[in-house]
Structure 1
Amino acid sequence: MALINISQLTFSYDSSFENIFHNVSFQIDTNWKLGFIGRNGRGKTTFLKLLMGEYEYKGTISADIEFDYFPFSIEDDLTINIIEEMLPNIEQWQIYKEFSLLEIPDETLYQMFFTLSKGEQTKIMLAILFLKEHHFLLIDEPTNHLDMNGRRVVSEYLNKKNGFILISHDRTFLDGCIDHVLSINKANIEVQKGNYSTWKQNKDYQDQYELNENQRLKKDIKRLNEAAKRTTQWSDDVESTKKGQRISGLRPDRGFIGHKSAKMMKRSKTLEKRRNDQLNEKEKLLKNIEEAESLAIHPLKFHSSQMLYVDHLNIVYDRPIIQDLSFNVYDGERVALIGKNGSGKSSIIKLLLGQEIPHSGTIFIKNQLKISYVSQDTAFLKGNLKEYAQNIGIDESLFKAILRKLDFSRIQFEKNMEEFSAGQKKKVLIASSLCQQAHLYIWDEPLNYIDVLSRIQIENLILEYQPTMIFVEHDAAFTDKIATKRIQLG
């Protein structure tokens, strides 16, 4: 066991006026399986890069262990050659053991690395890193190229390992493989024992406690203010009697009145101190309450209950991808296309969008059906948000209002989209889709890189407004909540 010590860490990018981290201190045990969570743009990947020594910073990071980062660059070669070059002393039985745990076919060892699927490449890179000894792994969003089964396999694999920090927003995936959580909150960074679900439960309890305390303190402060005003008034009234007229020839007892006035003033100061203590206590609350405002969508009502149908669809590339597939989509349905990578999910979406894909069978889409589309790819996003909104014909104010609800700061609106994090780019596509009035929403892996809280916002939106959807998503928790129909492929 060793410790990674972070002390008084402060960092900001040269182009930024804000610190990503400010005087942050905490410790990490190198035996932990540590899940790293937080909203997009809060600095999770930046922190891993700091551990790797890629940026200059203020403060101290100390560790008696070497770090390795996933993903890493690879030059194309036979997979076995890549592994032996990186691990010259490795035995083949060790490779086969890792491959077996990750359900990687043995024959991939003798295939060119870049001919393998992205999911297989992900698994092989993880196997290489875990075959190294005495290294602490920094694993940055490994699930983005993994289908549901691949995520299950990798989660089970990581659960058998230790000594890593894992950035992921997939709740089911995290629950299957971590024993500690490192969370970047609004006001601090904290480490907690448990998986994602226990962290979320504790966070909900803490948030509710703080909200309740805030309400109690507000009431107490109001009561103390009113009591202080009354006491001050009483003190002033008593003090004024010192200068009063004689009553029936009697002179006011100024000593008694002065004592009574002083006693009232002392009580007023006590009440003021209590109020200030309550104000100080209140000031410490609600700093980490995440604002997750409700989103809205306004789907158009279609003139027919049936929107489209697919009949006896076949798609063949170098091999059959889709064979004799038939399904309907009706108004109000949320259809999940389920299947491993390469099973034809994206091909079906391309056909529904009118793209040319070699196929046989029938795809019939009703006339005047308006479709809003979110693609997997974000590489085309360039320029600023104002230009983007104008180019695709959406209301800029509404568009930016939705992005604010998805945790965009106003500073982000001044940047070009090339500077956005991967999660922020995905939020741009989702926000633009929410601005479009459509009969059918087709979303192709919309949640890649999207933080957990935003995923929950999007879930709640869909459940409330119930748009008609066809979607591909490998987040099992999201699919379980949202889908009303599943089409199994492959």
Structure 2
Amino acid sequence: MLSIQSIDLMAGKQLLLQGASLTIHPGQKIGLIGQNGAGKSTLLKAILGEVSLDAGSINMPQSWLIGCVQQELATTDVSALDFVVSGDELFAEVQRDIMQAEKDNQQARLVAAYDRLDHISGYLVPQKAKQLLFGLGFEEDAFTKSLSQFSGGWQVRLKLARALMQRSDLLLLDEPTNHLDIEAVSWLVQWLKSYEGAVIVISHDRFFLDEVVSGIAQIEQQKIHFFTGNFESFERQKNAQLMQQQALHETQKLKMQQLKSFISRFKAKASKAKQAQSRVKALERMEEVAAVQAMNPFKFTLFQPVHLPDPMLRVESLDFGYDKPIIENASLVLRAGDRIGLVGVNGSGKSTLLKLLIHDLSPQKGKVIHAKGLKIGYFAQHQLESLTLDWSPLNHLVQLDKTIQENDGVPITDQEARSFLGRFGFTNEKALETVKHFSGGEKARLSLALMVFQKPNLIVLDEPTNHLDMETRDALDMALQEFSGALILVTHDRHLLSSIADQYWWVHAGQVEAYFGSLDEYLNQRLQWIKTQKADEQESKLGDQGNTKKEKRQAGAQIRKRIQQATRTQSSRLKQVEKLLEQTQTEIQQLHLQLEDSALYQTENSDKLTEILKKEAEGKRLLESLEEEWLMLEEEIAVITEQLSEEDS
């Protein structure tokens, strides 16, 4: 297991974590959440040993392998398939041994290398890599292309595929759904569900977290707070916690008022002086529970359209392409109030279609007809780059207002501009800071604010959530739900898409057509296609696989049998401990669910509350003891395995 104990972690002079702890068991999948800048990515780097701790420790079994996404590409001249295959370092090492043994004509070494290849199921590795590439949206003709031929977004996918290819006991993923389309996200969900190792994943995608994780680790106020269950369960527990906190706060305020009143009335009386002093001390000891504040700082709304032309736009026999056709003979109608989800794998032409619809591109054939009075608000990731870095949010809004106003228009006042920006989180001095110091999320929020300010009756959004944290996504979701105009949305955020869109346009094979099924039906169809994809025939096996293969299998089997016999006692107890760990975690989870019941904190239920808290403490002590035993057994097995392997070689 991974044990994070009482760590302090800093980024420059900023303290991110103080006395923070977290334990992750084999196979456990954890979602790491927290506000931007809370220290999520830095914590993953600390686990990898890339940043040093200021206090505390991070421990895991020496035998554990960690998988993560490579940040930089060491080379760009290898093919996509070879790059992904190289993620399996054990396979790559065996391949090198085979090539060297063949070159040196060392038959014994070649036999041993083939035995290792068979033992690690190496013949299946290239096929597994192809399935990963299919799942992440690559076509078969892309497998042989060099890395340098792919755009930045597709290179990110290749890095993710290589990380998934690694043989790992712990997988660390930082926003893995960015740069993926919704089809690839659905495939990744299924892959992670079948992954047997432990996972720590940073994500702001609710659907992804709900489907993948069994626990949420929230970084808040420099601590790590762990909640069992998926993200939906976390929200229920957090809400119950906050409600309890609010109740405690109100009760505490009343008690403090009573104490202050007693002290004021009796502290001067000799007969009551002793009692008054005890109450003074009680008042000093009392720790105030902070009142629940609005959790989400962003509560922006969209201006409701005054005019809704119907139809809003029409597409007639539209063709567009570059070297090859992208959109062919498309005909569409967008009606007033339509809420369209635009779906299709990356590269199918979704973003191109949006640019054609808003007249950013001109069709090679056919036409896009805008209704009179149509006002389009468009958001895409490239718009973040068009912000003027030396301007503040206030500068941007004032300049936009000048371009909107007619000759007789009334310019926006400074107070009105500040008030509007404040709804998007740009309050006080933040409204005056230059954009060049902003994070990606802050730039995205500013671009959204500028779009909303234009009061569109058609909103077109192309991957609006890539840089947005959970709070801003929630605010955007609520604002779009209340918007009465038309919407066209491209997003990999399944939660946002399913809550906003009520019909879908499917872009595929150059066609754009209405998809009449549900989002789940569409994604299930895509997953089924990926599963039935036939990879090329397995790579030809190197060398003679006749008698030599039989010999190496026998030798390998003997080694494995010796290790199995030598570690039988430890392995048997390890299975028992893992079962007890699972039972204890389940029991503690059940106790936590009971503690969510607000009625439990009434005076008449104090005995029951005490009993539950006692059981929880006992469960935590047992869990800690089992975790220590599990670590000890893992170490013993690893030492015995290493010794026997060395003896054989």
From the two aligned structures, give the one with the greater helix fraction: 2
> Structure 1 residues 177 and 411 mapped into 2: Cα distance closer, same or farther (>3 Å)?
farther
How far apart are 1:38 and its partner, in Å? 1.7
Partner residue, 1:447: 465
> Structure 1 residues 43 and 424 mapped into 2: Cα distance closer, same or farther (>3 Å)?
farther
What SS does the aligned partner of 1:169 have? coil
| CA deviation profile, 1:172-225 (whole Å, cap 9, x unmatched) | 112222222221224532233322222222112112221222233233334444
Partner residue, 1:383: 390
> Structure 1 residues 275 and 303 mapped into 2: Cα distance closer, same or farther (>3 Å)?
same
Selected match of 1:263 from 267, 271, 280: 271
Partner residue, 2:22: 27
Q: Distance in 1 between matches of 2:285 and 2:186?
A: 51
> Structure 1 residues 28 and 102 mapped into 2: Cα distance closer, same or farther (>3 Å)?
farther
Partner residue, 2:251: 216
Partner residue, 1:244: none
What letter is aligned with 1:145?
A: H
How far apart are 1:391 and its partner, in Å? 4.1
Q: Distance in 2 between matches of 1:85 and 1:304?
A: 55
| CA deviation profile, 1:306-340 (whole Å, cap 9, x unmatched) | 32222333333444433443333333333322222
> Structure 1 residues 84 and 291 mapped into 2: Cα distance closer, same or farther (>3 Å)?
closer
Partner residue, 2:350: 345
Asked whether 1:184 is paired with 2:219, we answer yes
| CA deviation profile, 1:83-135 (whole Å, cap 9, x unmatched) | 45553236352231243256345554323335457776545433322333346
> Structure 1 residues 486 and 215 mapped into 2: Cα distance closer, same or farther (>3 Å)?
farther
How far apart are 1:151 and its partner, in Å? 0.3
Asked whether 1:299 is paired with 2:334, we answer no
How far apart are 1:281 and its partner, in Å? 3.8
Partner residue, 2:489: 471
Q: Distance in 1 between matches of 2:420 and 2:244?
A: 29
What letter is aligned with 1:191?
A: F
> Structure 1 residues 4 and 480 mapped into 2: Cα distance closer, same or farther (>3 Å)?
same
Asked whether 1:362 is paired with 2:367, we answer yes
Selected match of 2:126 from 80, 95, 110: 95
How far apart are 1:458 and its partner, in Å? 1.5
Partner residue, 1:488: 506
Q: Distance in 1 between matches of 2:332 and 2:341?
A: 12
**Contact 2:341/2:504 (<8 A) preserved:** yes
TM-score (norm 1): 0.80
Q: Distance in 1 between matches of 2:181 and 2:308?
A: 35
What SS does the aligned partner of 1:454 have? helix
Partner residue, 1:248: none
| CA deviation profile, 1:63-101 (whole Å, cap 9, x unmatched) | 445655425322323123324555323635223124325
> Structure 1 residues 78 and 34 mapped into 2: Cα distance closer, same or farther (>3 Å)?
same
Partner residue, 1:155: 189
Partner residue, 2:34: 38
> Structure 1 residues 97 and 483 mapped into 2: Cα distance closer, same or farther (>3 Å)?
same
> Structure 1 residues 212 and 457 mapped into 2: Cα distance closer, same or farther (>3 Å)?
farther
Partner residue, 2:578: none
How far apart are 1:21 and its partner, in Å? 0.7
Matches within 5 A, 1:110-129: 110-115=144-149, 121-129=155-163
What SS does the aligned partner of 2:178 have? helix
Asked whether 1:48 is paired with 2:82, we answer no
**Contact 1:52/1:68 (<8 A) preserved:** no
Q: Distance in 2 between matches of 1:95 and 1:458?
A: 42
From the two aligned structures, give the one with the greater strand fraction: 1
What SS does the aligned partner of 1:40 have? coil
**Contact 1:399/1:432 (<8 A) preserved:** no
**Contact 1:182/1:190 (<8 A) preserved:** yes
TM-score (norm 2): 0.62
**Contact 1:180/1:194 (<8 A) preserved:** yes
Q: Distance in 2 between matches of 1:456 and 1:468?
A: 19
Matches within 5 A, 1:58-457: 58-63=54-59, 64=62, 67-74=66-73, 75-76=75-76, 77-83=78-84, 87=89, 88-89=92-93, 91-100=122-131, 103-104=134-135, 108-115=142-149, 121-134=155-168, 136-161=170-195, 162-186=197-221, 188-226=223-261, 228-229=263-264, 231-232=265-266, 261-278=269-286, 280-283=287-290, 286=292, 290-302=295-307, 304-377=309-382, 378-381=384-387, 382-385=389-392, 386-393=394-401, 416-457=434-475
| CA deviation profile, 1:111-169 (whole Å, cap 9, x unmatched) | 33354577765454333223333464332212122111110001111222223321211
| CA deviation profile, 1:288-320 (whole Å, cap 9, x unmatched) | x72345222223311634322223333334444
Q: Distance in 2 between matches of 1:363 and 1:151?
A: 31
Larger displacement relative to structure 2 (307-316 or 219-228): 219-228
Unaligned 5+ segments in structure 1 are 237-260
**Contact 1:37/1:184 (<8 A) preserved:** yes
What letter is aligned with 1:304?
A: P
| CA deviation profile, 1:366-410 (whole Å, cap 9, x unmatched) | 234322221122233423424433443486766665665555686
**Contact 1:30/1:136 (<8 A) preserved:** no
What SS does the aligned partner of 1:301 have? coil
Q: Distance in 1 between matches of 2:497 and 2:19?
A: 36
| CA deviation profile, 1:422-449 (whole Å, cap 9, x unmatched) | 2222222122223332222222111112
Q: Distance in 2 between matches of 1:364 and 1:50?
A: 55
Q: Distance in 2 between matches of 1:403 and 1:40?
A: 19
Q: Distance in 1 between matches of 2:237 and 2:186?
A: 25
Q: Distance in 1 between matches of 2:488 and 2:140?
A: 36
Aligned Cα root-mean-square deviation (Å): 3.3
What SS does the aligned partner of 1:9 have? strand
Aligned length: 455
Q: Distance in 1 between matches of 2:41 and 2:425?
A: 17
What SS does the aligned partner of 1:142 have? coil
Partner residue, 1:255: none
What letter is aligned with 2:447?
A: L
**Contact 2:342/2:505 (<8 A) preserved:** yes
**Contact 1:403/1:427 (<8 A) preserved:** no
Q: Distance in 1 between matches of 2:172 and 2:430?
A: 27
Partner residue, 1:254: none
**Contact 1:306/1:331 (<8 A) preserved:** yes
Partner residue, 1:460: 478
Q: Distance in 2 between matches of 1:409 and 1:69?
A: 37
**Contact 2:319/2:327 (<8 A) preserved:** yes
| CA deviation profile, 1:215-256 (whole Å, cap 9, x unmatched) | 332333344444554x33xx76xxxxxxxxxxxxxxxxxxxx
Larger displacement relative to structure 2 (472-481 or 303-312): 303-312
Q: Distance in 1 between matches of 2:145 and 2:328?
A: 27
What SS does the aligned partner of 1:489 have? strand
